[in-house]
Structure 1
Amino acid sequence: MTETRNDAFDVDLFVIGGGSGGVRAARIAAGYGARVQLAEEYRVGGTCVIRGCVPKKLMVYAGRFADEFEDAAGFGWEVGTPRFDWAVLKARRDAEVTRLEGIYATNLMRAGVEVVADRAVIEDPHTVRLVRSGTLVRARHILVAVGAHPVKEPLIPGAELAITSNEVFELETRPERILVVGGGYIAVEFAGVFAALGTRTTLLHRGDRLLRGFDGEIRQALGEAYAKRMDLRLDTTVHRLDRRDGAILATLSDGSELLVDQVLVATGRRPNVAGLGLEKAGIELDAAGAIPVDRFSQTVAPSIYAVGDVTNRAALTPIAIREGHAFADTVFGGKPWAVDHDLIPTAVFSTPEIGVVGHGEEVARRLHGEIDVYEARFRPMKATLSGRDERILMKVIVDRASDRVVGVHVLGHDAGEIIQAVGIAVTMGAKKADFDRTIAVHPTAGEELVTMRTPSVVKQPVAVG
């Protein structure tokens, strides 16, 4: 049931943060008639729109044209020597980000949300202070949606010479040589981008495989593909960074040295909670430095909620959006519901691309016991004429007792698009029999997901680390 207004409050909802989660919550709440004010100290749109998913994927597209130009010859095209212009890409990418920022702001305005370009901090469970103006705003509900920021961990001598995934979008020129440090989404994606755009790229990761937490065979296959595209160094860390003749000298843990133009550190992100005033509302952070919330995104202070990366539940834009929507429906729309964080389709925009929904083989064995693993490795049709050394890997993981599909993993072209569609079926609880009775679309790569009939030979479990 929609709550009634109380004139003791200036607004029904005050949203701190203008990213994906905060914007969605504000718009939906305003649609229910709530008086909503939103404060954003930087740019409306948040990490994803301004310096994350959107501009990064535009760069991924730019890099993939290099392969397209090479492949065209196998199909009869004569293509001259391509020339890439970083300045053109940066200008057009930045213009698109600005356009999207404008759309976000316009949608908030049309929804009746008052947007304030200011930093907001919490003074008590119902009061926020706008830092620049000093204005105090009384709000019946406060939603914290401030996201997270990249960190350089571990700190090493010379760490100030490195950039993060924020500053990478500000580079005015393409570095000829770059060292990317990290093994997660961001490191993997940017290493792929720079390598594709012609930068001599070294990807350094302290673990023995990239993408911790993903299916072991997907991790192995990506490592093999990346080793062909760049200088991939595993089980290695950076010891120190020093200036050397206008460049950066990286001394590594194995004693070797690299001279590069840029060092991009992508080793993690941390919630933006510094100076937010949470302690004034009795909110203590968890071990990860995030805001603890219940399944409805409510904190220990009943009037304060939090969504998105600041809660460290699942640091993905679609999750923040759904959490924001669920919050608004629950608190202002009288339609309570909570986001299910257990089954999340996701993609890694590496090259080759990765799409995943559900559990990897190692986790599935631990959670479900007896499982069947269906696996296909093949050369995509496009590569037969282009001559590219490219393979696709697909895995369907099935709980043997129930026949339910508990995981689907794709490595290859358009994996993200494929997994979005497959994610619907898996979320609905599809069984392997449902996959089997689905007619294949031929000729496609995706048809392999519905034509695998025989489980692969049982393999020794791969460590999850």
Structure 2
Amino acid sequence: MSFDFDLFVIGGGSGGVRAARIAAAEHGARVALAEEYRMGGTCVIRGCVPKKLMVYASGYPEAVEEARAYGWSAEAGGFDWTAFRAKLDAELDRLEAIYRQGQKNAGVMVFDQRATVAGPHEVRLADGSMISAKHILVAVGGRPFVPEFDGSDLVITSNDIFKLDALPKRVLIVGGGYIACEFACILHGLGVEVVQYNRSPLLREFDAEARDLIVAQMEARGIVIHTGVIVQKIEAEGDQRVVTCSRGEVDRFDQVIYATGRVPNTEGLGLEAAGVKLGPRGEVVVDEWSQTNIPSIYAVGDVTDRIQLTPVAIREGHAFADTVFGAKPRKVDHELVASAVFTQPEFGTCGLTEDAARENGPVEVYVSTFRPMKTLFAGKDDRVLMKLVVDKDSQRVVGCHIVGPDAGEMIQMVAIAMKMGATKAQFDATVAVHPTMAEELVTMGNPVRHA
């Protein structure tokens, strides 16, 4: 049977563009890709990249304060959101152009419109065109989830923050995951008064000792946090949002931002009609090769709801292209994937939490908490945490959790050792780099507890 293309990719995010480029440029496949919004997907356009730039921007007032403690005559002045947003938009335009050029250079045909699955080998474009492909890759990512309630149409999500005409003076953030906490810290650093609601403890999917320290320092910086709270209704009163919560309290904000999780973006994509099995959250169910129950249809990235991280989507897309078009079958190893949460303080984590590790058997827990030299000299009460969770029998380090400046940079290096199966003795045998925060990872001699 003759097809228009060997591969049709739906979605121009990190996983989709990597799969398309590798299949076309390295393996000679005839590839097309459809993207209904902007090339680059969530990470480049409305996620990791703009968020990290906002993290940098939000850290300068604190840096200026520290500079004064070190003897500099320094003042931060006011933050110009309009100027920052213009430069941010220009940077995202630059990155999108790079993504688009990469597809062009690889020989991928790009359709700037929505595409849906019309059958095992058929894709329907928004203009009504039907295209056939030997293989279809679904890489449409996820979207923010906002529950239905009275006034839910008055809220914004993380997608909208980067497009605000002006920063709100007072904001309510609803949610307790890493996105909610990151934006609470970002907006606070930019001078916004931040209140955060969540029905359960913040960052509950992470190690309890690490998250407790992060939350305590968020509160110490001035973020007002209420847990065990649910928003019941929101009303508009002029430009303000009047929020009634489950405690019966009423408060007023300039904006309400919902960051209550993300869901796979499969609605209206035609997958179920084509026979593709979806999970309870709408995720595309795939096997270890990223293949669905329909042999010609694959899926990678957040739409599969495996690990919602950009580097994972990229690796899944690359592995798919090598497997299907390059005669180099390989699976993606989803174990020991490091990640970073860009709160203030920053958090880096890899492997099991202490509680999860305990479920697998006896563990030894090594912890060091201290005031880092840089901010201690500046008279601040910031604290750093370094934590290793060690399997007692094998002595392998099965979890590492770091709270402190540049934790994301540190955890990347630790993840290499953990992936190689490093033991606590091998950590101990590594000579410390002094004076650094990271030296604590190789100088913790005795466990603080056994479990």
Short-chain TM bin: over 0.9
Question: Deviations along 1:128-172, whole A, 9 cap, x unmatched?
Answer: 11112x22111010000001111112x221111110111111101
Give the 3 Å change call, closer, same or farther, for CA 378–176 of structure 1 in structure 2: same
| 8 Å CA contact 1:354, 1:409 repeated in 2 | yes
Match of 1:12 among 6, 19, 22: 6
Match of 1:398 among 390, 410, 418: 390
Matching residue within 149, 155, 163 for 1:156: 149
- Per the TM alignment, residue 392 of structure 1 is displaced from its structure 2 partner at its CA by 0.2
Deviation at 1:342, TM superposition (A): 2.3
Counterpart residue number, 2:378: 386
- Equivalent residue, structure 1, for 2:440: 448
- 1:337 paired with 2:333, answer no
Cross-structure match for 1:351: 344
SS at match of 1:54: helix
Q: What is the aligned partner in structure 2 of residue 33 from structure 1?
A: 28
After superposition, the Cα gap between the structure-2 partners of 1:81 and 1:15, relative to the gap in structure 1 and judged at 3 Å, is closer
Aligned residue for 1:128, secondary structure, equals strand
Matches within 5 A, 1:178-327: 178-207=171-200, 209-229=201-221, 230-327=223-320
Residues 37-186 of structure 1: pairs in structure 2 closer than 5 A: 37-132=32-127, 134-153=128-147, 155-186=148-179
Cα pair 1:125 1:280 within 8 Å, conserved? no
Q: Displacement, 1:271?
A: 1.0
Q: Secondary structure at the match of 1:393?
A: strand
Taking the aligned partners of 1:365 and 1:291, their CA distance within structure 2 comes to 31
Distance in 2 separating the partners of 1:302 and 1:149: 26
* Percent of aligned pairs with the same amino acid: 54
CA distance in structure 2 between the aligned counterparts of 1:455 and 1:35, rounded to whole angstroms: 56
Say yes or no: does 1:421 pair with 2:449: no
Q: Is the 8 A contact 2:376 2:382 kept in 1?
A: no
Distance of 1:326 and 1:293 partners within structure 2: 14
Deviation at 1:458, TM superposition (A): 4.1
Indicate if the aligned counterparts of 2:60 and 2:76 stay in contact, CA closer than 8 A: no
Q: Is the 8 A contact 2:155 2:256 kept in 1?
A: yes
Letter in 1 for 2:45: I
Q: Deviations over 1:295-337 (max 9, x none)?
A: 0000000000000111111111111101001100110111111
Q: TM-score, normalised by structure 2?
A: 0.98
Tell me which amino acid in the other structure corresponds to 2:14.
Answer: S
> 1:462 maps to which residue?
none
Do the aligned residues in 1 keep the contact of 2:266 with 2:303 (CA within 8 Å)? yes
Q: What secondary structure does 2:63 align onto? A: helix
Amino acid at match of 2:237: R
User: TM-score scaled to structure 1, two decimals?
Assistant: 0.95
2-side partners of 1:343 and 1:421: how far apart?
12
Q: Which residue of 2 aligns with 1:431?
A: 423
Q: CA separation in 1, counterparts of 2:375 and 2:114? A: 52
Residue 69 of structure 1 and its aligned partner are, at CA, apart by: 0.7
Determine if contact 2:396/2:423 at 8 Å carries over to the other structure.
yes
C-alpha deviation, 1:279, in angstroms:
2.3
Could you tell me which runs of 5 or more consecutive residues in structure 1 were left unpaired when the two chains were aligned: 1-5, 460-465
CA contact (8 A) 1:152 1:159 kept: yes
Runs of 4+ in 1 over 6 A off after TM superposition: none
Alpha-carbon separation, structure 2, partners of 1:411 and 1:213: 15
SS at match of 2:162: helix
Shift of residue 213 of structure 1? Answer: 1.5
* Distance of 1:219 and 1:386 partners within structure 2: 24
Contact 2:198 2:226 in 1 (8 A): yes
Report if the CA contact (8 A) 1:49-1:101 is conserved.
yes
Deviation, structure 1 residue 81: 4.8
CA distance in 1, matches of 2:76, 2:270: 56
Structure 1 vs Structure 2 CA RMSD: 1.1
Q: Distance in 2 between matches of 1:387 and 1:237?
A: 38
Take 1:227 and 1:185, find their aligned partners in 2: how far apart are those partners? 16
How many angstroms does 1:432 deviate by?
A: 0.7
Shift of 1:80: 2.6
